Amino acid sequence: MNLFELLAGEDNHLALVTPEERSLTYKQLRENIVGLVSQLNSFGLKGGGEKISPLKVDDVLPKNWV
């Protein structure tokens, strides 16, 4: 099973809703994922089993960085 199979909901159905009531439909979520994949590909990550780790800016920059 791949990510797109997990996100196979109807285009107009809600996929994510935040506590602040912001939401994304399945179609919007899939479009965001396609954009992320495209950007990762442009960095040379082509889906050949490379592993990536998400980082927050706070994790890599000093607190007083401007």
3-class DSSP state of 15: strand
- Number of domains making up the chain: 1
How far apart (Å, rounded) are the C-alpha atoms in residues 41 and 13?
Answer: 28
Residue 62 confidence (pLDDT): 63
Residue 63 confidence (pLDDT): 65
**66 occurs within a structural domain:** no
Residue 15, token pair as written in the block:
């996929």
pLDDT in tens, 32-66: 888 888 888 888 887 767 777 776 666 666 666 55
**65 occurs within a structural domain:** no
Residue range(s) defining the domain that contains residue 38? 3-60
Q: Which residues pair with 23 in a beta bridge?
A: 17
Confidence grade of residue 12 (pLDDT, cut at 50, 70, 90): very high
**33 occurs within a structural domain:** yes
